[in-house]
Amino acid sequence: MSIYEVIRYCTQSTLSYLNEPKQERKQKRQRRKTERPAFSSRWFGVLPWAVRQLFRKSS
């Protein structure tokens, strides 16, 4: 991928974002927030697994 293609992609995506009505942008943002898993399950879901792996290696 050349630098011109990267610049073109960035320009196109920025312009498409700016051409959307403000209300649509807010709705997209809200949808992404609701689809994302909860903070506790995102971060603490990995922690018990990591501890388990740590104890398995030391045994």
Which DSSP string corresponds to 17-53?
HHHS-HHHHHHHHHHHHHHSPPHHHHHTTHHHHHHHH
Instruction: Map out the domains of the chain as residue ranges.
Output: 3-58
Residue 1 has pLDDT above 60, yes or no: yes
* CA distance readout (Å), 9 to 2, 24, 26: 11, 21, 23
Residue 46 has pLDDT above 70, yes or no: yes
Spatial separation of the C-alpha atoms in residues 2 and 21, rounded to whole Å: 31
pTM of the model: 0.49
CA 35 to chain centre: 11
Residue 4 has pLDDT above 60, yes or no: yes
